[in-house]
Amino acid sequence: MTPLTRLIRPCRWLLALLPSACALAPPQAGAPHTYTLDLPRPGVWARPAGDRVLAVMPVHAAPPYQGDAMVYRRRPHELQAFAHHRWQAPPARLLEPLLVAALAADGAYRAVLRGDPLGVADRRLDLELSAFYQDFTRLPSRVRVGLRARLMDMRRRRLLGTVSLTEEAEAPSDDPYGGVIAYHRALQRLIPRLGAFLRGREGIGGEAR
């Protein structure tokens, strides 16, 4: 066997493995892209079922999701960020107006405020974004959204309840834009579950599952 043959054989072996290795790797190349969350605004607002005021506090984010990076996973226990794809703002900040609008339209409260600077709220909702990533460990890829919620009675200074909600949605394409579409689909299922949790704690309707 010639020295050249010895060199070519391992190269052929590596090239044969390359397509399967790349199959689970999300695309990184291209010009920078910026994405936002634009869920449909409620078209119909329910009549308030009570006279309480809810303050939705700024959403806290777990460390991997505090910036504007679009986070993904291609192997267990490891999160990475796309190099050329970003959120318009940190996901927690993008979620806040969507949550406030959806909970106000739900009608469980007389008013839903974004924060409580004047101290007028009867209830306070604390939220944490615990998961917000696109998973490429299997194809088609999926996104995972996790939200932890804690409802406080501000008049009696007591905890009314906590809940951890998660939703997954399959991406229509295995790239960042496909993930954006999937995030919207997951949130359209997760936000009503948050509303159901609040209604259950207020004795108005069903609990979140």
Fold held by 53-201: Rossmann fold (3.40.50)
Closest by CA to 27, choosing from 89, 86, 87, 83, is 83
Q: Of 25-34, 42-51, 64-73, 145-154, where does mean pLDDT reach its minimum?
A: 25-34
Nearest C-alpha neighbor of 176 from the set 78, 75, 82, 77: 82
pTM of the model as a whole: 0.82
* pLDDT of 14 over the 90 cut: no
Helix (H) or strand (E) run with residue 15 in it: helix 3-23
Predicted confidence (pLDDT) per residue in 176-186, tens digit: 999 999 999 99
Task: Name which of 144, 36, 134 is nearest 94 in CA terms.
Answer: 36
Distance in angstroms (rounded) separating the CA atoms of residues 12 and 167: 42
What is the domain partition of the chain in residue ranges?
Answer: 53-201
> Of 133, 28, 135, 37, whose CA–CA distance to 84 is shortest?
28
pLDDT at 26: 58
Task: Give per-residue pLDDT as tens, 35-63.
Answer: 999 888 776 677 887 889 999 999 999 99
